Structure 1
Amino acid sequence: MQVHSFTLEDVQLLRETVGPSIGVKAAGGIRTFENAVKMLQAGANRLGTSGAVEIITGNLSTSSY
């Protein structure tokens, strides 16, 4: 089974499909503050990331987990 990260387009499509009353969670590959903000702007209201500390402190995560 191949796993892929959510793209901005995925998040936008989900938001357009489910509307404002259902949550959209973007997960996978979110490793920078800028990328996290873009996902939120695209319509996500939750983020799944193993790099929350790195995102908040500005230290780029180099590991996949």
Structure 2
Amino acid sequence: GEMLDRIETNIEDAVDYAEKARQNVKDARELLKKARKRKILICILVAILVLILIIFIQSMICHFTPIC
């Protein structure tokens, strides 16, 4: 009786825990995927800003010096 009830309760708790763990792993994978996409987007934006800055500096150098 009581021993079997405790075993059954422990098994049910273990199943619930495993299901929650599986969902947590799934959620973590989705968050990592989103974070990776965000990191790539930020790198692309930084690269574009650096290119714009280089073009701006080059145009300023060409404007003030006869090197170009």
TM-score category of the 2 structures, normalised to the smaller one: under 0.3
Query: Bigger radius of gyration, 1 or 2?
Result: 2
Which structure is richer in relative contact order (CA contacts within 8 A, separation 6 or more)?
1
Higher helix residue share? 2
Task: Using structure 2 for the length normalisation, give the TM-score.
Answer: 0.19
